Amino acid sequence: MVRGNLPAMPIENSYPARNAVATVKYRVEASGAVHVLDVDSADKWYGKHAAVAVKDWKMTPAYRNGQAVAVECAIELGGYFHGFKDEPPGKDNQ
């Protein structure tokens, strides 16, 4: 990866704590540009954020016989998000 960020956990899903996982299938073009092909996630909000993050990635392309080529890939993103435990965010506990 040349540059990119991981997906943010939407505030709506930060409380309560939960697992959120998304499998993103994407294509890396010979230019290094990334195009999202499909997203599979039980958590629709996290799936949307994962797609937004991946489409903004810039990758080093794959090479075959000295030429840059497009490839299709998949990645699983996510994990356990702790949430705010006892109370939603406020100005004193953000």
Residues 70, 29 contacting (CB under 8 angstroms): yes
Which residue would you say has higher pLDDT here, 8 or 50?
Answer: 50
Q: What is the pTM of this model?
A: 0.75
> Would you state the pLDDT for residue 85?
52
Contact 9, 18 (CB under 8 A): no
Mean pLDDT value across the chain: 82
Tell me the pairing of strands 67-69 and 18-28. unpaired
| pLDDT at residue 26, rounded to an integer | 97
Q: Domains of the chain: which residue ranges? A: 15-81
Please, which pLDDT band fits residue 28 given cuts at 50, 70 and 90?
A: very high
Is the pLDDT score of 70 beyond 70?
Answer: yes
Q: CA–CA distance from 78 to each of 18, 21, 38, 47, 92 (Å)? A: 10, 4, 16, 9, 27
